[in-house]
Chain A
Amino acid sequence: MSVSLSAHLPAIQVVLPLISAPLCVLFRRNGASWLIALIVSWLSLGISILLLEQVIANGPISYLLGSWAAPWGIEYKVDMLSAFVMLIVTSVGSISMIFAPNSVNSEIPGDRIYLFYTMYLLTFAGLLGITITGDAFNLFVFLEISSLSSYVLISLGAERNALTAAFRYLILGTVGATFYIIGVGLMYQMTGTLNMTDLAMRLPAVAETRTILVALGFVTVGIGLKLGLFPVHVWLPNAYAYAPSVVTAFLAATATKVAVYTLLRIYFTVFGTKIFAALPIDEFLLILSLIAIVSMSAVAIFQNNVKRLLAYSSVAQVGYMIIGISMVSVTGLTATILHLFNHAMIKGALFLVLAAVFFRIKSVKIEHMAGLGKVMPYSMAAFVLAGFSLIGVPLTVGFVSKWYLILGALEKGWWPVAGLVLISSLLAVIYFWKVIEAIYFKTRPQDAAIIHEVPITMLVPMWLLVGANIYFGINTELSVGAASAAAKMLIGGAP
């Protein structure tokens, strides 16, 4: 790759999916659209890896869009954290695109499939834009690009409930995004800048003012709505349950992660750790997420639809990440960032298996999944392993995140927090085991249709993610290394 091209990688990363989305509409061919989405996803994955390598070798990359100098122009910024999150988004995207064709063809009417890939590319571009931009308002724009297109993706679900789920998400998502720009506006009012680095330098002088504290509150609630923070998570279970299967897998693994990333960025890069002394928002988040990890895991136990069960589990898992943030310590943030990565692998794998199940039996209700262990052995084995990871069984990624989270709690002397995290894991055992028992220890009804294992193009992506669950559970060098480097950077305050 030539030098000039590699210098423009940050821009290409966003522009590539953005311009290929209309291409899909122009072609109006389902197969071609899929191919474009697939190629773009994998190219982006390649770019993410290159960017991560550049960051590791040379430190953060600053890219001035249109060569307008920051803070006047829009700056794209790639540091350890954003490179890592981009890697998560692009790897899940590329893996789910291999998986997509069978599942999408069976769930979405043929005349709309090319639009599905268009919307996927827009969501993808939006999510990458959020992670890469160094400008607070530009982040809002990307947030809305990804949100609007994901509303459409969700509404494509087969049942009519998908429409109302998408509509509710639209209302709450828009309220959230609007809250976010109110916050940004107030910050702009006090500092006259929107560039995050620049904001970080100017904010300390006015940090104690009421305007800035209100801004912090607005931004927190706004992003909280997006990431499914308890108790403003109400849109999430239905959205995940009724969206097309591939969409659920992709969004569950990426969208909430990117929202958590935004929160990290705003808190630690823009405001800095001192803001928590002025407004004890860390304690507020801690209490909410403690309620979330216990209550949402408990609610998950009573779910009958496995997709919805896992959606509630996602709300609980987001709680783990927020607990890490509320510790405001290197170990805590390491746990959060690690769990971003790990949870993407876990939920990506689990939802892909559910997509495979839906592909075969047109349902993801527990009672309909009875006895699948015999007829879909490879998919179900993947489900078991990914589920072990969700529980936090050793040698899986789930264990690694839990280890750091509890270590962080103990460092702080927060015994009850450590206890509640473990209780929540036990609840995870219960809800997960319900599904396992149905799959392996109940027999398929006699009159059920004869089904077979899903095709290899679905098994391979699923097992890639399961493999990642185990590989990164044993060899933690990359994930822990990147996460702790990013955490140190955030806590150190250096942009």
Chain B
Amino acid sequence: MSAENYILWAIAVPLIGSIGILLAGKAPNIRETITLITAVVMFTMVGALIHTVVGGGRPSVTLLEIFPGLDITFTVEPLGMLFGLVASGLWIVNSIYSIGYMRGNNEKNQTRFYFFFAIALASAVGVAFAGNMLTLFICYEVLTLCTFPLVTHSGKPEAMKSGRTYLGILLSTSIGLQLLAIIWTWHATGTLDFKAGGILDGKVSGIAVSILLFLYMYGIGKAALMPIHRWLPAAMVAPTPVSALLHAVAVVKAGVFTVVKVIVYIFGYEFLANSLTTNWLVYVAGFTILAASIVALRQDNLKRRLAYSTISQLSYVIMAAAILAPLSVMGAVLHIAAHAVGKITLFFAAGSIYTAAHKTEVSQLNGIGRKMPWTMGAFAIASFSMIGVPPTAGFLSKWYILMGALEVEHYFAIGVIIISTLLNAGYFMPIIYNAFFKEADDKNYPHADHGEAPLPVVIALTATAIGTVLLFFFSGLPLELAHQVVGK
């Protein structure tokens, strides 16, 4: 098969799989088998593209022309390659995890759950492989809409309320700001293709660049820049596999991925560096990092704490890209992968605790490390990655971001990174310490005699925890792809 076919299949396989899931709705075992097979085949299709892309190839396939001169095109370039690999690879692990979690908690409407999950993955990879901004926007919107039923899965009033926040913020930013920015770009340049070095140079200038950047950055609501971050904590009402894969990986990474894509391929970071009025983004992102970390410190609900941690980590990527130094852009690319593996592990652990012990609050976790050593061990490793302790993936990306900031002597960014590292440690370390070294104080708790979570759950979270470490030692592929993104 040619590389073009792999692209099409990578998107088509989960869509076909979703139909299979619907048809097999009455037979859970077949349904879950289909999900797993779909995930594996999809990952294989995405993986088959690595060779071409690393070799400098940019396979591209055009489906149809929507407007004269504007097509639905998928083109794989290094950044999309990396995001596609992360999303589809983690889907396999997440599917194993889902089986344990959904059955362990007797969730209703599981067919709907797996169906929309498959579509969400198809659109996430669509975002990754989008060859122009229109295609990206279409996949981005599909991703928003098909994750709504997942967020509101339980159908309870508070889930509905959160669902409204989720959809309201994501749709209003994308339709109200991003679409305007896209049409403006099209109007100004006559193209929406992603090109190395950007397409806007010489087409817009002065304050317009800053306004356009504002429209894009706040139009990409999935990147959760403050103050449009509220949808992410709201989305935590979803079942944990959704929070893990979608709201730590696919959806939020689609957001920051789009941010990097826009900065690198629409504006071109050299063009932005020469425009004086655009450095506000570093400050907004820096503020988001610190503010979200401080809010995370005060959250007792584990998933909400993780959500605010995600907001802060997403802004790392945005800030790194906005520093506009090649090394920091590389750091941004690496952080997309590093944070994905780490954060999914943390969510897996949170879901594991909920399934086994029915606990959701940080204050309930004293001594739980002894009953659930695998879960809390994985949690600890992933936390180290979040903080940036070697040998974990988080160290690697933080290193590049810092190097970039030092290169251009951006002291604000350096300061933010240092303070936020301390804050990260501040909200993760106590959990680990209490889990392992404090006595359990829940003798009267009805579920006190629990052990580890179901096996699929443990397998999944162990795998991603190991992945966090492996990514540090075997960082050749991500580094190579990141190199190619900045073209150095």
Contact = CB atoms under 8 A, between A and B. Distances in A.
Q: Is chain B in direct contact with chain A in the complex (CB below 8 A)?
A: yes
Interface of A: 388, 391-395, 400, 402-403, 406-407, 410-411, 418-419, 422-423, 425-426, 429, 433, 437, 441, 474-477, 480
B179 interface: yes
A166 to B, nearest CB: 37
B138 A441 contact: no
B115 interface: no
A410 B145 contact: no
B64 A418 contact: no
B175 A407 contact: no
Contact of B187 (A395, A400, A407, A477): A407
A393 B146 CA distance: 12
Contact of A426 (B137, B164, B171): B171
B389 interface: no
B141 interface: yes
A324 B175 CA distance: 19
A341 to B, nearest CB: 15
B186 A407 contact: yes
A475 B64 CA distance: 8
A406 B171 contact: no
A171 B155 CA distance: 48
B137 A394 contact: yes
A422 B178 CA distance: 11
Contacts of A437: 160, 164
A392 B171 CA distance: 11
Interface of B: 64-68, 134, 137-138, 141-142, 145, 152, 155, 160, 164, 167-168, 171-172, 175-176, 179-180, 183-184, 186-187
Nearest to B159: A441
A410 B68 contact: no
Nearest to B155: A441
21 contacts: A388-B145, A391-B175, A393-B145, A394-B142, A395-B138, A406-B179, A406-B180, A407-B186, A419-B180, A422-B176, A422-B179, A423-B176, A425-B176, A426-B171, A429-B172, A433-B167, A437-B164, A441-B155, A441-B160, A475-B64, A477-B65
Contact of A406 (B66, B152, B160, B183): B183
A425 B67 CA distance: 21
Given A394-B141, A407-B183, A422 B175 contact: yes
Contacts of A423: 176
Contacts of B65: 477
Given A394-B138, A429-B175, A433-B164, A480 B145 contact: no
A418 B66 CA distance: 21
User: Per DSSP, are chain B's interface residues mostly helix, strand or loop, or mixed?
Assistant: helix
Nearest to B211: A415
Given A419-B180, A474-B66, A411 B175 contact: no
Contacts of B152: 441
Given A393-B141, A394-B137, A419-B180, A425 B175 contact: yes
Contacts of B164: 433, 437
A305 B130 CA distance: 41
A476 B67 contact: yes
Nearest to B66: A476
B171 A411 contact: no
A244 B112 CA distance: 36
A491 B276 CA distance: 42
Nearest to A443: B155
A395 B187 CA distance: 20
Contact of B180 (A422, A474, A476): A422
A418 B175 contact: no
Given A395-B138, A433-B167, A441-B152, A426 B183 contact: no
B67 A480 contact: yes
Contact of B184 (A391, A410, A425): A410
Nearest to A422: B176
B189 to A, nearest CB: 12
A403 B179 CA distance: 9
A392 B160 contact: no
A423 B179 CA distance: 12
A474 B137 CA distance: 14
Contacts of A480: 67-68
| Residue with the greatest number of chain A CB neighbours at <10 A, chosen from B145, B155, B168, B180 | B180
| Residue with the greatest number of chain B CB neighbours at <10 A, chosen from A391, A441, A475 | A441
| Residue with the greatest number of chain B CB neighbours at <10 A, chosen from A403, A418, A477 | A403
Contacts of B134: 394
Contacts of B142: 394-395
A429 B164 CA distance: 11
Contacts of A392: 175
Contacts of A441: 152, 155, 160
Nearest to A404: B67
Contact of A411 (B179, B180, B187): B187
A388 B66 CA distance: 17
Given A407-B186, A411-B187, A437-B164, 6 more contacts: A388-B145, A393-B145, A403-B67, A418-B180, A429-B168, A475-B64
| Residue with the greatest number of chain B CB neighbours at <10 A, chosen from A402, A411, A429 | A429
Given A407-B186, A441-B152, A474-B66, A426 B176 contact: yes
Contacts of A477: 65
Contacts of A422: 175-176, 179-180
Nearest to B68: A480
A403 B160 CA distance: 31
Nearest to A406: B183
B149 to A, nearest CB: 8
A441 B67 CA distance: 36
| Residue with the greatest number of chain A CB neighbours at <10 A, chosen from B138, B172, B183 | B183
Contacts of A388: 145
In the complex, the 4 A-B pairs of residues with the closest C-beta atoms, listed nearest first = A394-B138, A410-B187, A422-B176, A406-B183
Contacts of B167: 429, 433
Contacts of B68: 480
Nearest to A484: B68
Nearest to B186: A407
A355 to B, nearest CB: 26
Contacts of A393: 141, 145
Contacts of B175: 391-392, 422, 425-426, 429
A125 B127 CA distance: 48
Nearest to B144: A393
A419 B142 CA distance: 23
A482 B430 CA distance: 66
A193 B66 CA distance: 44
Contacts of A403: 67, 183
Contacts of B183: 403, 406-407, 410, 418
A330 B391 CA distance: 61
Contacts of A429: 167-168, 171-172, 175
A476 to B, nearest CB: 6
Contacts of A395: 138, 142
Contacts of B186: 407
A15 to B, nearest CB: 38
A199 B175 CA distance: 44
Contacts of A418: 180, 183
A351 B187 CA distance: 35
Contacts of B176: 422-423, 425-426
A139 B194 CA distance: 51
A422 B64 CA distance: 26
A135 B67 CA distance: 35
A474 B70 CA distance: 12
Contact of B172 (A402, A426, A474): A426
A88 to B, nearest CB: 21
A213 B138 CA distance: 46
A423 B187 CA distance: 20
A418 B145 CA distance: 24
Contacts of A411: 187
A99 B78 CA distance: 52
A410 B152 CA distance: 37
A400 B179 CA distance: 12
A475 B142 CA distance: 18
